[in-house]
Amino acid sequence: MTLLSSEKPMRPAIPDPLDLPLYAETLPCAAESAADARRLVRKALDAWGLQVLEPSASLVVSELVGNSVEHYGRDLIRVKAVRLDEDRVQVAVIDRSPQGPTVPKQAELLDESGRGLFLVDALAADWGTDRMRWGKRVWANLTTDIEETDQ
C-alpha cells in the first residue's frame, strides 16, 4: 500500500492494560431488559466455558437491572459481563444516576420487593458501586469457587 503525502501512517494500537474479554450491550432502562441482560450473560458464560455460573449470574444481573429500572428508570442502561480471570466473572449494570444502591434492609415477610441486594450479596464473591462522572456502575463478581462449594 502506498501512502499519499497527505496521509499519516497508522500507529500500532497500544494494548489496553485492562484488555479483558467482555460482552456488553446498551439496553432500554425497562423491566423487559432483564431478559436481554440474562441472554447476554449466558452467551458470555457459554463462550468462556463457565456455564456453572449461569444460574447465579442470571439472577444477579436481573436484580441489578431491576434496581436500575426501579431507582433510575430513564433512558438507557449498559450491561457488561467481564471475564476477570479463568474462574471469575463480573456482571455490571451502568446507568446515569449518581445515586448508588442503599445498604439493603431486611424485607418484611409480605414485602413484594427489597430482597434483591440481599440475593446479590449472597451469590457474589463481592459486589459494589463505582461512581462515575456521569452516573454509576453497580457490579458483582462471581467465581466458580463459590458455585462449587454451594453444590
Successive 10-residue mean pLDDT values, the chain, 151 residues: 38 47 94 96 96 97 93 89 95 90 58 68 93 92 70 44
Rounded Cα–Cα distance for residues 87 and 49 (Å):
10
CA distances from 40 to 17, 21, 59, 61, 94 (A): 24, 13, 13, 10, 15
pLDDT at 46: 96
> How far is Cα 28 from Cα 103, in angstroms, rounded to an integer?
25
Report pLDDT for 3.
Answer: 35
For residue 59, which phi and psi values (nearest 5 degrees)? -65, -45
pLDDT for res 145:
80
Here the cell at position 42 is 449466558
pLDDT score of 12: 38
* Cα 127 to Cα 104: distance, rounded to the nearest angstrom: 13
Q: What phi and psi, each to the nearest 5 degrees, are found at residue 123?
A: -90, -25
Task: Give the three cell numbers for residue 75.
Answer: 433512558
Q: Taking the mean position of all CA atoms in its chain, how far away is CA 23?
A: 9
